[in-house]
Structure 1
Amino acid sequence: MPVSIVVGGQFGSEGKGKVSLELARRARRADIPTTVVRVGGPNSGHTGYNKSGKKFALRQLPAGCIDCDVDVVFPAGSYIDVDLLFQEVSELNFPQDRIKISHHARLITQEHKDWERNGELVQSIGSTGSGVGAAVMAAVARQSTNFSLDSLVAQDNASLQPFIANSTELLRGKLDRDHRVIIEGTQGFGLSLLDGGYWPKATARSTTAAAALAEAGLSPMDVDDVTLVIRSFPIRVAGDSGPLPNEVSWEYVASLTARKAIDIQEYTTVTKKLRRVGKFDPALVRAAIAANRPNRIVMNHLDYVGGKEQLKCPESDVQKFLYFAEEAIGRVVDCVAFSELDVVEVRKALLSD
């Protein structure tokens, strides 16, 4: 059973965690053993709800593991804040024997966090100051004598020894036994270091499906499923975080469904700051589609346009918005969501009673 990859098509916070969790649940309902792989680091939060309806906003563990019935792998392309990892394992009561970490996964230290904050990255690009960028730079510096930051790997940390494994060998064995592997990407295409188009207002890594696969240590031949997650109204984090085409106010978005801004305003998981919001930008999504070639597209936050009951009405605001978006990006939107809990397959919804 090959690999699924979940990536974002805008500026992050598209709802990748919820989608990863939904894919994991579908695999488990089909009795397919499932592993969720978390690449990148804790500079962004992934949110999901367990089967009892409890909300978890995770930064280190993948949201796809919230039901505690999958294996979790941190490959060489992951960046780990050890204290945060154990904190989330405790909060989720996740079985520790189901977690494996590559020998070569990089560790984030307080030194890395201090370096980012002292370098004013939090103010200049809207960074969360989580130390991921500094850890990436330290790894690339390769112990150069003229670079001050150290790079540490998981095998050097005593508390991580019970979890250490050869992640590529482990995942290859799972794939050979027809397990499903879900790679949970981070952030969004517009923040991608190499190809997002907004450098230097970008993250420290590439955020495409190909990059996530490389960080997971697997082959392109393994992938049979790529999901691109987008929003009806994209967001960027607060402050001077970079351009947001067609930026509007939360008051404007709320007015579309006769709500109050305070009822829909979104805040970042890590820094708790009010997000900026903009109108749907087809050009960015087209670029994300070109780079990721997704099998499916999921659009979240369609409740900002109208209610779920409008999905079957051709003249509704929801259907008009979907028609506009699909025409503008040149692709069908396969699934939509009106809340943090649902993922609706559009064509099935139209055919159902």
Structure 2
Amino acid sequence: MTNVAVVGAQWGDEGKGKVVDWLSERADVVVRFQGGHNAGHTLVVNDAVYKLSLLPSGVVRGKLSIIGNGVVVDPWALFDEIERIQKQGVTISPEVLRIADNACLILPIHGELDRAREEAAGGGKIGTTGRGIGPAYEDKVARRAVRVCDLAEPETLRFKIDRLMTHHNALRRGLGAEPLDGEQLFEQLQALAPRLAPYATPVWKVLDEARRAGRRILFEGAQGAMLDVEHGTYPFVTSSNTVSGQAAAGSGMGPGAVAYVLGITKAYTTRVGSGPFPTELFDDVGEGLGERGREFGTVTGRRRRCGWFDAVMVRQAIKVGGVDGIVLTKLDVLDGMADLKVCVGYELDGVVLDHFPAGMAAQANVKPVYETLEGWSESTRGARTWADLPATAIKYIRRIEELIEAPVAILSTGPDREETILVHDPFAD
């Protein structure tokens, strides 16, 4: 059976939640492999709206849903989310949800440090969600993080907390914050341990058994390729790898576990937070895209910056992410626009580039080179076949395919899971 990874091919917010939910009908297992509760996936099912942050989208369909070792887990946020989703009629139990026992935890100290740093940075802030994702990954890499499995070993937990206090209290003194009480944190985690324990398991083993049994596995990415800590617009990025290569490392499976990579991209471009955005629009067109597309963050509620489709950036995301085909979302937001622009290159110091440069100053200073395409007056909302689309909309899609050097496998024409045109089923390979 083919296993599929779904990743964002822009700066996140591309509509991965709907796509993963739609694909999960064909999958047996859904896995989150990176990020934390800074992710925001919105699912619309029979007029019911589910807003997920840490839970894999498969929980809504009752599919086995796994939070992999590559995810940093805020256990308090997780249980708040479980309670909220269960109030909507979704049953979440250890039979449905498994959490990697070697996943690292986001603690209250991480969120405090995250927010304190952003405040101290002033105009140099990078636009984090303030939820402690970055500091948690820092502790993971520095080998002082508290992991899920540590909650079952009180002495190990005390040892880990002592190490954390040494580091974090030094940082807090530098930021003018009060020192932390390690004993209070120990007691908080001890109280939480019995609730988390039933979900904790060696998920690599669960996934290996699923693969051997021929079960279809869907890997659910968060954020987008241009927020990848290595391949994105550094330092205005998240603190994990968001590209498909992380699906293996972040779940405990080998690289051969993923047979098809599906990249999600909007028919235009958005970004939340700080950082370069070559095609950003500051006029009525940009405002119109934001209003029609309802461009507000699922997690933070922040207004998204909007601009024209950037084919250079998406092509680069496809190359570094090993994307086989894309899902093009929110085509209907472009309905009624006479002309559409697509970025086909960048101009920097008189030279036209065919890629997004790595340098921070270069990324901030590139100017988009546009190609203008004819728009359409008809509605594409809810289209179910190519025959339902205006000819100029099809031309727009075909031109995007040429520029990004990848085919459109799925076309999303609205937020509902049925408002979808399937060109190629990723699970069919």
Structure 2 contact 293–330 (Cα < 8 Å) conserved: no
- Give the alignment's Cα RMSD to 1 decimal: 2.7
Which residue in 1 is equivalent to 2:318?
289
Q: What amino acid sits opposite 1:110 in the alignment?
A: P
Structure 1 residues 89 and 313, CA, compared in 2 at 3 Å: closer, same or farther? closer
Contact map agreement 1:76 1:217 (CA 8 A) in 2: yes
Please state if 1:332 is matched with 2:414. Answer: no
Matching residue of 2:49: 55
Residue 278 (structure 2) aligned to one of 230, 237, 245 = 245
Structure possessing the higher radius of gyration over alpha carbons:
2
Match in the other structure for 2:143 = 142
- Residue 282 of structure 1 and its aligned partner are, at CA, apart by 0.8
1:149-188 map, 5 Å: 157-188=193-224
TM norm structure 1 = 0.86
The aligned residue for residue 344 of structure 1 is: 421
Please tell me whether the aligned partners of residues 292 and 333 of structure 2 are also in contact (alpha carbons under 8 angstroms): no
**Distance in 1 separating the partners of 2:167 and 2:396:** 50
What is the deviation of 1:194? 0.6
Map of 2:3 onto structure 1: 3
Counterpart position of 1:90: 83
Q: Are the aligned partners of 1:46 and 1:62 in contact in 2 as well (CA < 8 Å)?
A: no
1:1-353 mapped onto 2 (5 Å cutoff): 1-27=1-27, 34-39=28-33, 40-50=35-45, 52-67=46-61, 69-93=62-86, 94-97=91-94, 98-120=96-118, 124-143=125-144, 147-148=167-168, 157-196=193-232, 198-238=233-273, 241-249=274-282, 251-252=284-285, 262-306=291-335, 307-308=379-380, 311-312=386-387, 316-341=391-416, 342-346=419-423
Q: Return the alpha-carbon distance in structure 2 between the equivalents of residues 37 and 48 of structure 1.
A: 16
Counterpart-to-counterpart distance in 2, 1:255 and 1:262: 5
Name the amino acid aligned to 1:299: L
- Offset at residue 230 of structure 1 (A): 0.6
* 3-state secondary structure, aligned to 1:247: coil
Q: Retained in 1: the 8 A contact 2:98–2:203?
A: yes
In 1, Cα distance between equivalents of 2:288 and 2:142: 50
Structure 2 vs 1, CA of residues 262 and 19 (structure 1 numbering), >3 Å: closer, same or farther? closer
Cα displacement string for residues 236-266 of structure 1 (whole angstroms, at most 9, x for unaligned residues): 114xx1011111147315768xxxx644341
Alpha-carbon separation, structure 2, partners of 1:264 and 1:315:
20
Looking at structure 1, the residues matched to 64 and 224 of structure 2 have their Cα atoms a distance apart, in angstroms, of 25
After superposition, the Cα gap between the structure-2 partners of 1:250 and 1:71, relative to the gap in structure 1 and judged at 3 Å, is farther
Mark the runs of 5 or more structure 1 residues left unpaired by the alignment.
28-33, 349-353
The alpha carbon displacement at 1:344 in A equals 1.1
The aligned amino acid for 2:21 is L
Deviation at 1:312, TM superposition (A): 3.2
| Alignment partners' CA distance in 2, 1:346 and 1:161 | 42
- Aligned match of 2:174: none
For residues 65-110 of structure 1, what are the alpha-carbon distances to aligned partners after superposition, in whole Å with 9 as ceiling and x for unaligned? 222x201111211111112212222222233122111111111111
Give the deviation of 1:179 after TM superposition.
1.1
Aligned partner of 2:22: which letter?
E
The 8 Å contact of residues 58 and 64 in structure 2, kept in 1 or not, is answered as: no
TM-superposed CA distance for 1:157, in Å, is: 3.1
Runs of 4+ in structure 1 deviating by more than 6 angstroms, as ranges, are 149-152
Aligned partners of 1:268 and 1:275 also within 8 Å:
yes
**TM-score for the superposition, normalised by structure 2:** 0.71
> Per the alignment, do residues 23 and 181 of structure 1 end up closer, same or farther by CA in structure 2, a change over 3 Å counting?
same
CA distance in 2, matches of 1:219, 1:202: 26
Separation of aligned partners in 2, 1:36 and 1:114:
31
Helix, strand or coil for the counterpart of 2:309? Answer: coil
- 1:249-290 residue CA offsets vs partner (Å, 9 max, x unmatched): 47315768xxxx644341111221111011111111111111
The 3-state SS of whatever aligns with 2:250 is helix
Would you say how many aligned residue pairs link Structure 1 and Structure 2?
Answer: 332
SS in structure 2 of the partner of residue 65 of structure 1:
helix
Do the aligned partners of 1:311 and 1:318 also contact (CA within 8 Å) in 2? no
Which residue matches 1:351? none
* Distance of 2:410 and 2:396 partners within structure 1: 14
